Amino acid sequence: MAQQQPLAGRKVAILALDGFEQVELTDPRKALQDAGAITRLVSMNRGKVQGFHHDKPADKFDVDLTLEEAKAADFDAVLLPGGVVNADKIRNSRHAQEFVQAMQQAGKPIAAICHAPWLLISAGVVKGRKLTSWPSLQDDLRNAGAEWVDEEVVRDGNWVTSRKPADIPAFNKAAIELIAGS
């Protein structure tokens, strides 16, 4: 029996810099690809980007496009993995901010886990949104005008957010449903 592919042909950008939480990229990426999506890893520079297992270096991954080259119009959705180092660096990228702003303006799906909502704060798009994240971001999110809740997965319009690696199964399911319905 052929496997269902609800995301067949959908293009998903994955924005990550060195220091991303590896499982928050690899597990959702595999789930998206298994559902038929075409994923592209977008980072600051060409070459490879370094994953982490918490605070320990893990594997390196090939970058498909730079943040400067990537255009939101070319993608159907964006996945934002967490990791403290990654999230703290990427939130300062003008190109990353502009990318998520354009995705938001177009109403395209945004899936963010763990520390990734820092980028959404810096991009100025969280005001009035309900979301979750790693608990240490709750004050930042509330101060930026968001409603933060401590739940495994939160869906608000074109967004789906989760707190941590343990939430990945629910996050993957919600992200696939969100993208399939867009």
54 as an active site residue: the answer is: no
Distance (Å) of CA 40 to CA 28, 78, 99, 121: 13, 10, 14, 23
Question: Catalytic one among 53, 54, 95, 115?
Answer: 115
At a CB cut-off of 8 Å and minimum separation 6, what does 49 contact?
Answer: 16, 17, 18, 20, 41, 43, 60, 61, 63
In whole angstroms, how far apart are CA 135 and each of 69, 76, 114, 182? 33, 29, 8, 29
- Catalytic residue numbers read 115
